Amino acid sequence: MVTRSRLAWLRITAWLVDWLCILVLALALVPIGLAVRGLELPVWALNLGSFLLLVLPATLWLAWRESARGATPGKRLRGLMVVSVRTGRRVSFGRALARNVLKVTVPWELGHTVAYGFATEAEPGGWLIVVSIVLYAVVLVWIAGLFARVSPYDAMAGTRVTLTSNHPATS
């Protein structure tokens, strides 16, 4: 039997592996970033571009891996898989997409909004402080949720992360 704490650390290390994979895409986009660097684009256009070129593909890739293979590369490496709470089986693409939108897209986009806002606003308004507080709250709840029975995004998506049947802890 694996403890919640051990499962949390397996999930965290799996996530680090997945982020290394996503980093490959981010590095491939550097030439595009350098090309638009000198342009006077509005903040919303920069945020939209980063969403369309990086955040959306990363989210779709994670959802595809969890639905088609049951796990992302990091989860497979760590002996984990995402399953439906209702059936205990691999999740549908829609459920995996909902999970990853909540887990990845929401905090990432909040982070972009805060970063672009503070980088471009001469005097940041109250809205930016509120979004910053929301961002920190979401990130802290997501991290704390890893050590709980089920993370908030898994609860909302109707999923859970479990050990695969061939993981040493289940033998």
Nearest of 154, 136, 161 to residue 9 by alpha carbon: 161
Q: 159-163 and 80-84 as β-strands: parallel, antiparallel, unpaired?
A: antiparallel
Q: For residues 162, 69, 24 and 12, what is the CA-based torsion angle, rounded to 10 degrees?
A: 0
Domain extents in the chain: 4-165
Q: Is 50 exposed, middle or buried (0-12, 13-18, 19+ CB in 10 A)?
A: buried
Predicted model pTM: 0.89
Both tokens of 40, joined, read: 């006077």
Q: What is the full per-residue pLDDT of the chain (171 aa) written as tens digits?
A: 788 889 999 999 999 999 999 999 999 999 998 888 888 888 888 889 999 999 999 999 999 999 999 999 999 999 999 999 999 999 999 999 999 999 999 999 999 989 988 888 778 788 999 999 999 999 999 999 988 888 999 999 999 999 997 665 554
**106-120 vs 126-146: helix crossing angle, rounded to 10:** 150
Phi, psi (deg, nearest 5) at residue 163: -75, 145
